[in-house]
């Protein structure tokens, strides 16, 4: 009988553990504060968006969004655990609670937003799918690709777009589908495929990693809309609000000319009521999302405003122009809701 009693105790323990692990806590903010670290899902390596640099430090536009959130929530942009995710894991990782936030070139689609347990926050980059081919093949337009083999990554909207595009234009493309972006790119580079396809920003960034970037051409066609946005678990509205408003805050900061360098000074000196609210001198915007009033000041001083983030990660290293990702007031479509 003693053994049986022992066994019951063990079973009770296991059941208890199961209960803890399966009933996730309601407030991500409380969780993150308690852990003291933000776990952030990123890519396995897309230069410009999320990629470890030569010293192993994660850098990129998506990475900076995570750092801004960590600065706003925890007061320290370094208190982050980066979790590299394959494309097909990026949604499950956040819905299952493995990461608090996925910031990984993820396209905001209706199905993902409504049926897969994820909530998108705010667009950080307006992208579109494009194609890269070899110059020696002599094609100038995607319409000439009939019969070509296309290397693509699994679990992406690109994979579906290429099927749609092939059907719509009767191109009979052969899609060779790989688990990782690196494998797909390698297969293209080694000549298995005639075409490599993904979002144009990534084409530009991945082309720089090829041995002979000058021999490859990015075709002019952009066949899809890819609004890229960080995503969180569905059902935690406060956490979603925090991410959304950190991003809006960074874009608003660019509009108002608040930079990492001058933010503290502007808080002290600026007479613009919008800037005063933004930097927490007046009003109580921080309390709306369960934070203190310096939340955005910390985010801006640690990573800079949206324009600085873009400049540092995409323009300087990859030569990507702002294009549509320019502020609305300068001819782009970035239009963040007002901070009030």
Partner 1 sequence: MKTLVSQIKQSFNNISVSGLVGQMFVLGLIFYGSYFLLLTTQENLTARGIDSGFKFLNSEAGLPISDSLIEYSPAKSYGTAFLVGILNTLFVSFIAIIFATILGVIVGVGRTSKNWVISKVSAFFVETLRNIPLLLTLLFIYTVALGTLPRAKTPFNPIEGVFLSRRGLYLPDPIAHDGFGLVVAAFFAAIAIAYFFTKWAKKLQIRTGRALPKTLISLLVIIVLPLLVFFILGKPMSLEYAELKGFNFVGGIVLKPEFSALLLGLILYTAAYIGENVRSGLQSVPAGQIEAARALRVPKSVIIRKVLLPQALRVTIPATTNDYTSLVKNSSLAVAIGYPDMVSIGGTIIGQNGQAIEIIAMWMAVYMTINLIISALMNWLNSRVQIVER
Q: Which is nearer to partner 1, 167 or 330 (CB)?
A: 167
Residue 192, interface with partner 1 (CB under 8 A)?
yes
Q: Report residue 107 as tokens.
A: 């396209």
Residue 170, interface with partner 1 (CB under 8 A)?
no
For the CA atoms of 126, 131, 135, 141, the dihedral, rounded to the nearest 10 degrees, stands at -100
Within 307-336, the residues that bind partner 1 by CB under 8 A are none
Residue 135, interface with partner 1 (CB under 8 A)?
no
d(CA 188, CA 185): 5
Other CB atoms within a 10 A radius of the CB of residue 296 amount to 28
Site map for partner 1, 233-252, x if CB under 8 A?
xxx-----------------
# chain residues binding partner 1, by CB under 8 A: 60
Q: Report residue 171 as tokens.
A: 């191109």
Grouping H, G, I as helix, E, B as strand and the rest as coil, residue 231 is strand
- Beta strands across the sheet bearing 174-178: 174-178, 149-153, 195-199, 129-134, 216-218
Q: Where are the alpha helices (DSSP H) in 75-213?
A: 90-95, 110-115, 157-169, 181-189, 200-207
d(CA 332, CA 337): 15
Residue 88, interface with partner 1 (CB under 8 A)?
yes
Residue 9, interface with partner 1 (CB under 8 A)?
no
Query: Which residue, 316, 334, 314, 315, is CA-closest to 324?
Result: 334
Residue 142, interface with partner 1 (CB under 8 A)?
no
d(CA 32, CA 291): 13
* Percent helix, strand and coil across the chain, each to the nearest 5: 45, 15, 35
Residue 116, interface with partner 1 (CB under 8 A)?
yes
Query: Among 36, 190, 214, 271, which residue interacts with partner 1 (rule: CB under 8 A)?
Result: 190
Residue 138, interface with partner 1 (CB under 8 A)?
no
Segment contacting partner 1 by CB under 8 A, of 65-73, 90-98, 210-218, 307-315: 90-98
Cβ-based neighbours of 298, under 8 Å, separated by 6 or more? 71, 72, 75, 77
Residue spans of beta strands (DSSP E) within 214-322:
216-218, 226-228, 231-233
Q: Which is nearer to partner 1, 39 or 87 (CB)?
A: 87
Query: Among 67, 104, 112, 240, which residue interacts with partner 1 (rule: CB under 8 A)?
Result: 112
Please say whether the beta carbons of 213 and 185 come within 8 A: no
Q: Which is nearer to partner 1, 131 or 310 (CB)?
A: 131
Query: Among 148, 263, 289, 339, which residue interacts with partner 1 (rule: CB under 8 A)?
Result: 148
Query: Among 39, 43, 95, 103, which residue interacts with partner 1 (rule: CB under 8 A)?
Result: 95
Q: How many residues does the chain have?
A: 340
Residue 18, interface with partner 1 (CB under 8 A)?
yes
Query: Among 155, 286, 290, 332, which residue interacts with partner 1 (rule: CB under 8 A)?
Result: 155
Q: Which is nearer to partner 1, 46 or 334 (CB)?
A: 46
Q: Which is nearer to partner 1, 148 or 266 (CB)?
A: 148
Query: Among 31, 44, 76, 174, which residue interacts with partner 1 (rule: CB under 8 A)?
Result: 174
Q: Which is nearer to partner 1, 31 or 183 (CB)?
A: 183
Query: Among 156, 244, 270, 325, which residue interacts with partner 1 (rule: CB under 8 A)?
Result: 156
Whole-angstrom CA distances from 298 to 62, 116, 124, 125, 266 are 18, 33, 19, 22, 13
What are the backbone angles phi and psi of residue 228, rounded to the nearest 5°?
A: -95, 130
To partner 1, the closest distance from the beta carbon of 164 in angstroms equals 7
Binding site for partner 1 (CB under 8 A): 1, 4, 7-8, 11, 14-15, 18-19, 22-24, 87-88, 91-92, 95, 111-112, 114-118, 137, 145-149, 151-152, 154-156, 159-160, 162-164, 166-167, 173-179, 183-184, 186-187, 190-192, 194, 233-235
């Amino acid at each position: 009988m003693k053994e049986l009693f022992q066994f019951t105790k063990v079973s009770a323990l296991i059941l208890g553990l199961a209960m803890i692990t399966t009933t996730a806590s309601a407030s991500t903010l409380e969780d993150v504060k308690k852990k003291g670290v933000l776990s952030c899902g990123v890519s396995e390596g897309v230069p410009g968006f999320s990629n470890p640099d030569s010293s192993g430090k994660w850098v990129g536009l998506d990475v900076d969004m995570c750092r801004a959130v960590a600065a706003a929530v925890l007061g320290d942009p370094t208190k982050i655990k980066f979790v590299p995710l394959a494309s097909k894991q990026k949604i499950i990782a956040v819905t299952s609670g493995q990461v608090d936030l996925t910031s990984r070139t993820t396209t905001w689609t209706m199905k993902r937003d409504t049926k897969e347990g994820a909530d998108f926050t705010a667009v950080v980059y307006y992208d579109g799918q494009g194609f890269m081919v070899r110059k020696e093949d002599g094609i100038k337009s995607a319409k000439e690709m009939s019969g070509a083999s296309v290397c693509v990554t699994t679990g992406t909207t690109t994979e579906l777009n290429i099927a749609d595009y092939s059907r719509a234009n009767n191109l009979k493309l052969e899609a060779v589908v790989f688990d990782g972006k690196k494998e797909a790119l390698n297969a293209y580079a080694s000549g298995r495929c005639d075409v490599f396809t993904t979002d144009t920003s990534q084409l530009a960034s991945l082309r720089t990693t090829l041995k002979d970037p000058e021999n490859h051409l990015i075709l002019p066609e952009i066949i899809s809309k890819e609004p890229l946005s960080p995503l969180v678990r569905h059902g935690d509205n406060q956490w979603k609000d925090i991410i959304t408003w950190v991003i809006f805050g960074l874009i608003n900061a660019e509009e108002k000319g608040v930079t990492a360098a001058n933010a503290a000074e502007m808080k002290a000196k600026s007479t613009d009521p919008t800037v005063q609210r933004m930097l927490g001198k007046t009003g109580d915007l921080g309390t709306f999302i369960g934070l203190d009033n310096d939340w955005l000041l910390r985010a801006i001083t640690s990573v800079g405003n949206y324009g600085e983030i873009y400049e540092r990660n995409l323009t300087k290293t990859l030569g990507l122009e702002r294009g549509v990702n320019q502020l609305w007031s300068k001819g782009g479509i970035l239009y963040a809701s007002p901070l009030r």
